[in-house]
Amino acid sequence: MSTNLVVLAILMFLVTYPTRAVGLLTPGLDRLPKIAFAYLQLVGPAVLAALAAVSVMVVVGDDDVPSFHVGIEWVAVFVALVIVARRKNLFLGLIAAVAIVAIARAAGLAEIPA
């Protein structure tokens, strides 16, 4: 990585670190009202589900325009979800998801998202 890119990385760090630190380091957050704690308890499932949904349903093309994507990834992620819920085994769910996508793409049944 060139020196210029190290500087860019440091600038990226300077805008990233505060987002990670503000909740952990800001004094007084311990005295939030109960409803705020109840809200924060719900952030985890909401953000993780949002990450998963956007990852498989939204594709950003070369023109930077997001578009709705329907593909084998939906099936793979759903199968992973079912396996995790029923078998309590995340690793098995991940293996199944990767296998579904790899087999479908190798067989020409699915394309790689842009």
**Binding residue (CB under 8 A) for another protein from 3, 10, 33, 109:** 10
d(CA 75, CA 92) in angstroms, rounded, equals 15
User: Can residue 52 be called a binding residue for another protein (CB under 8 A)?
Assistant: yes
Q: Give the number of residues in contact with another protein, rule: CB under 8 A.
A: 71
Q: Structure tokens of 17?
A: 């670190």
CA 104 to chain centre: 22
Quick check: 61 binds another protein (CB under 8 A)?
Answer: no
Q: Is 44 in the site for another protein (CB under 8 A)?
A: yes
107 binding another protein? (CB under 8 A): no
Instruction: Please identify which residue in 3, 38, 61, 70 interacts with another protein, judged by CB under 8 A.
Output: 38
* Closest distance of CB 102 from another protein, Å: 4
Reading the block at residue 6, the tokens are 């190290």
Per the DSSP assignment, residues forming a β-bridge with 60 are 66
Answer positive or negative: Cα dihedral of 58, 61, 66, 68. negative
Q: How far apart are the first and last CA of the chain?
A: 26
Judged by CB under 8 A, which of 43, 63, 70, 109 binds another protein? 43
**Selected binder of another protein within 3, 33, 63, 68 (CB under 8 A):** 68
